[in-house]
Amino acid sequence: MLQFHKQTRSPMAASRSRPPPAPPAASPAQALIAAHGRVTRTRVAVLDSLLASHQPLNHDQIAAELAATGEHHDRVTVYRALDWLVEQGIAARIAGSDRAWKFEAVRRGHRHAHFHCDTCGRVLCLEAVEPAIAVALPEGFRLEQAELVLRGACPDCARNGER
Amino acid sequence: MLQFHKQTRSPMAASRSRPPPAPPAASPAQALIAAHGRVTRTRVAVLDSLLASHQPLNHDQIAAELAATGEHHDRVTVYRALDWLVEQGIAARIAGSDRAWKFEAVRRGHRHAHFHCDTCGRVLCLEAVEPAIAVALPEGFRLEQAELVLRGACPDCARNGER
DNA sequence: GGACAAGATGCTACAATGTTGCAATTCCAT
DNA sequence: ATGGAATTGCAACATTGTAGCATCTTGTCC
């Protein structure tokens, strides 16, 4: 659980009106982004959202997060920021049970399964589930990633009884 | 406008007038559908396509299959037929790497992994891959289905070298 | 075989989720 | 501080799927 992100925004806002002398050690998001390319307002804000969330977010949820900060971020720019983060390996794109992509910050060396709730549509990261995936892939395939996808009802929805 | 579908349906017509004693004369698709509800032109055609395919098909590919038979099938009706087949447990809906659903006929008791090719977008069923999925799900979750999703390059695309 | 009611179809709109093209703006290495 | 490339913002478009509703089919009962 990482719930630090609010204060990362203020140095950024200040830097727009007047470049501060030396705020080098910025947020983890800024550091990550700087290591891969240009640091921009929207990229930082989007990655902040992803890092602060303990579950994958779709574009809508991210937009809501950004709106809550009071800044305006263009819809298309957010899509492009997400594309870029995925391309850089900073974020991962996972297919939800609705037809919208969900995104999560990549934790290196941290394998976990995803649980898709059919009732509420959320995707939960099951940190504790380290699946024993023993795959014998036929000749010719080049494996890039293996993921265990679980479907069903999350605790909240299962408790409420419906199916 | 429906000249061509007659031949597909003739065994059906026969079975309606007089149920054949020996084997289930109607196509497997018709039998499956009849066991769950109304047998209609589009449902049969769609399920035939799924049964004939060795890999999951998206709506576009199914539409192409249907068009090849010379019959016309409305876009919306095909969607609804697919929804119905999934609802009845005859077909399964799986999320592709693009944002279109893919569908496959359900083979009972036949677990297999899916390989998503990032290059050509196809989803291949890996019949030989019987993943050892040992999941210890936390309390509260109700598991409905577990699926192993593999991503990378399929043999065709891997051979052609690009990434 | 024929009539009937529930269910399925085929339109046409509409909704949700991205994507493209391009001029204007921003980032950052000089 | 400045210049050029990367990024943004906007509007238009593309893809994939749904909703509403009048009409037609299917399966059943006589």
Give the CATH number, domain containing residue B1: 1.10.10.10
Question: For position A22, what pLDDT does the model report?
Answer: 36
Same domain, B84 and B136: no
Residues B128 and B161 in one domain: yes
Q: List phi, psi (to 5°) of A91.
A: -125, 165
Domain end residue (candidates: B109, B124, B146):
B109
**pLDDT tens digits, one per residue of B112-161:** 788 988 888 889 888 766 655 556 788 888 888 788 888 888 898 888 76
Q: Choose one of B109, B130, B145: the last residue of a domain.
A: B109
Quick one: which of B34, B36, B24, B30 has its CA closest to B8? B30
Q: Which residue is nearest to nucleotide C10 (CA to C1')?
A: B74
Say whether the CB atom of A59 is under 7 angstroms from strand C: yes
Asked if B80 and B59 sit in the same domain, the reply is yes
Nucleotide nearest to B39 (CA to C1'): D26
- Do A82 and A137 reside in the same domain of the chain? no
Contacts of A146 in chain B (CB under 8 A): 148-151
Say if residue B3's pLDDT is above 50. no
Reported as a single tens digit per residue, the pLDDT across B18-58 is 333 333 446 889 999 999 999 999 999 999 999 999 899 99
3-state class (DSSP) for residue B95:
strand
Residues B73 and B128 in one domain: no
Partner B, chain A 104-133, Cβ-Cβ below 8 Å: 113, 115, 118, 126, 128-129, 131-133
pLDDT number for residue B160: 77
Nucleotides of C under 7 A from a protein CB: 7-13, 16-21, 26-28
Nucleotides in D strand less than 7 A from protein CB: 6-12, 15-20, 25-27
Tokens of A128: 């504790």
Residue A107 is predicted with a pLDDT of 82
For A10, the domain range is 1-108
How many domains is chain B partitioned into structurally? 2
Distance CA A82, CA A45 (A): 11
Predicted pLDDT of residue B72: 92
Residue pLDDT tens, chain A, 163 long: 323 333 333 333 333 333 333 344 468 899 999 999 999 999 999 999 999 998 899 999 999 999 999 999 999 999 999 999 999 999 999 887 778 899 999 987 667 788 988 888 888 888 766 555 556 788 899 888 788 888 888 898 888 764 4
Exposed e or buried b per residue across B113-152, where buried means at least 16 C-beta atoms within 10 angstroms of its C-beta: bbbbbebeebbbbbeebebebebebeeebbeeebbbbbbb
My answer on whether A29 and A90 are in the same domain is yes
Q: B115 and B103, same structural domain?
A: no
Find the residue closest to D8 using CA and C1' atoms.
A77
Same domain membership, residue A116 and residue A100? no
Closest residue (CA) to C1' of nucleotide D17 is B79
Sign of CA dihedral A79, A85, A86, A87: positive
Same domain, B101 and B117: no
> The domain spanning residue A124 has which CATH number?
3.30.1490
Q: Are A73 and A59 in contact (CB under 8 A)?
A: no
pLDDT digits (tens, 9 = 90+) for B70-86: 999 999 999 999 999 99
Q: Supply the pLDDT for residue B5.
A: 38
- Using the structure block, give the residue that is written with the tokens 């007047």: A18
Q: How far apart are CA A101 and CA A96, in angstroms?
A: 6
Q: Which DSSP symbol is given to A53?
A: -
**Average pLDDT of B1-13?**
36
pLDDT at B120: 84
Query: Are residue A55 and residue A18 in the same domain, yes or no?
Result: yes
Interface test with A, best of B54, B102, B124, B142 (most A CBs within 10 A): B142
Chain A residues lying within 8 Å of B134, measured CB to CB: 131-132
Per-residue pLDDT at B11 exceeds 70: no
Q: How far is the CA of A62 from the C1' of C17 (A)?
A: 14
Does residue B56 sit in the same domain as residue B25?
yes
Residue of A nearest to B154 (CA): A141
pLDDT at B26: 67
Amino acid letter for position B132: A
Share of chain B above pLDDT 70, in %: 75
Q: Are residues A144 and A71 in the same domain?
A: no
